[in-house]
Amino acid sequence: MKSPLLALPGAVPAEGVDEDVAAHYGDLFREQRALADGTGFVDLSHRGVVAVTGEDRLSWLHLLLTQHVTDLPAGRATEALILSAHGHIEHALYLVDDGTTTWAHVEPGTQDALIAYLESMKFFYRVEVTDRTGDFAVVYLPAGSIAEVPEGVVVRETPYGRDLLLPRTDLESYAGKAGPAAGLLAHEALRVEHHRPRLGFETDHRTIPHELGWIGSAVHLQKGCYRGQETVARVQNLGKPPRRLVFLHLDGSEVHLPPRGAELRLAGDGPDGRKIGFITTAVRHHELGPIALALVKRNVPLDAPLLADTTAAAQEVVVEP
């Protein structure tokens, strides 16, 4: 759903799955600094919004998700995954329950497949699953923001900021009083800085939770009975995920950022050396310069300098090998 905020002065549309919201409004670093200082907002109205109602909603979701949600208190934010039978990540849900409804926002365009899966698992449980993307828009307020939250709006509060589920009809009017608009590129730069994975960016068809550090924040190790749990338990006990997420400082003299999928090699191996990983997200940060997240093979030395195509990169550990 194309955001009406693309009509704001200076708005430049994002690309790919994010094309329905603004990448920036004319000054990427100013927008990043505003968010880092706790001011402004980010339009995430292209994200899918799914609601689950019914008295069995939490106990039912507990059986399907990687997170422990049976006794999820009203207002407490959490994250959860849905895995394949082989433990590969299929969906990432950003959840909050308001006491009568469990709300989730998800990656743009993934809500239909998520709802189809949830509907197939209803059986005799007293639950209803509804696509509310057309009714609600996700708006991000950074940590420390003092922007007013309209009465009755569902809020997910996390250490990184607040996600508002705003009635879509109120999006334009709220933007006029929430402070300066920051584009998605500013939001992505802070996400990469905080080493936070994103479905479809840090994941591919064979990604498992341990590789991205999603254990703890989105996977509860003391519960079972969900699809893919055997893989999670096996990797947890053996401690050997095949790949690991790393944070990269990229050579700032390069004009262009390496694209997603750019091959990573050990710097000493030259351009034709063995591939040991790939870039997942590369951004320009207002303080750190060009940075990226990447997936590399587990046994890549922690201090090894890398090459992303022709761009030199130094790694920091996100997931221990």
* Token output for 83: 């895995």
pLDDT average, residue stretch 238-246: 92
d(CA 21, CA 175): 13
The reply to whether 48-131 and 242-317 are identical in fold is no
Q: How confident is residue 152, by pLDDT bands cut at 50, 70 and 90?
A: very high
Q: Which is it for strands 89-97 and 48-53: parallel, antiparallel or unpaired?
A: unpaired
Are 1 and 46 contacting, i.e. CB atoms less than 8 angstroms apart? yes
Whether the predicted pLDDT of 270 surpasses 70: no
Q: How confident is residue 321, by pLDDT bands cut at 50, 70 and 90?
A: confident
Pick from 160, 146, 192, 145: which is nearest to 287 by CA? 192
Provide the residue count of the chain.
321
Which range (36-45, 122-131, 255-264) has the least confidence? 255-264
d(CA 14, CA 201): 15
Whether the predicted pLDDT of 249 surpasses 80: yes
pLDDT average, residue stretch 214-232: 93
Q: What confidence score (pLDDT) does residue 301 get?
A: 92
Whether the predicted pLDDT of 182 surpasses 90: yes
What are the residues facing 308 on neighbouring strands? 264, 311
Q: What confidence score (pLDDT) does residue 272 get?
A: 63
pLDDT average, residue stretch 163-168: 98
Q: What confidence score (pLDDT) does residue 36 get?
A: 96
Domain ranges of the chain: 4-47+135-194, 48-131, 242-317
Report which of residues 222 and 253 the model is more confident about: 222
Q: What confidence score (pLDDT) does residue 283 get?
A: 97
Whether the predicted pLDDT of 271 surpasses 80: no
d(CA 135, CA 117): 21
Q: Which is it for strands 128-131 and 48-53: parallel, antiparallel or unpaired?
A: antiparallel
Instruction: Look up residue 239 and give its amino acid.
Output: G
Give 279's Cβ-side CA count (13 Å radius). 26
Which range (30-44, 195-209, 248-262) has the least confidence? 248-262
Q: How confident is residue 300, by pLDDT bands cut at 50, 70 and 90?
A: very high
Q: What confidence score (pLDDT) does residue 306 get?
A: 93
Question: CATH homologous superfamily for 242-317?
Answer: Aminomethyltransferase beta-barrel domains (2.40.30.110)
Q: How confident is residue 150, by pLDDT bands cut at 50, 70 and 90?
A: very high
Question: CATH homologous superfamily for 48-131?
Answer: Aminomethyltransferase beta-barrel domains (3.30.70.1400)
In this predicted model, what pLDDT tens digit does every residue of 32-81 receive, in sequence order?
999 999 999 999 999 999 999 999 999 999 999 999 999 999 999 999 99
Whether the predicted pLDDT of 109 surpasses 70: yes
Report which of residues 83 and 239 the model is more confident about: 83
Whether the predicted pLDDT of 252 surpasses 90: no
Q: How confident is residue 253, by pLDDT bands cut at 50, 70 and 90?
A: confident
Q: How confident is residue 225, by pLDDT bands cut at 50, 70 and 90?
A: confident
Q: What confidence score (pLDDT) does residue 18 get?
A: 98
Q: What confidence score (pLDDT) does residue 104 get?
A: 98
d(CA 139, CA 182): 11
Share above pLDDT 90 across residues of the chain, in percent, rounded to a whole number? 90
Q: What confidence score (pLDDT) does residue 276 get?
A: 95
pLDDT average, residue stretch 137-159: 96
Instruction: Look up residue 226 and give its amino acid.
Output: Y
Whether the predicted pLDDT of 274 surpasses 90: no
Pick from 139, 55, 131: which is nearest to 97 by CA? 55
Q: Considering the chain, what is the average pLDDT of its residues?
A: 95
Give how far the C-alpha of residue 142 lies from the chain's centroid of Cα atoms, to the nearest Å: 15
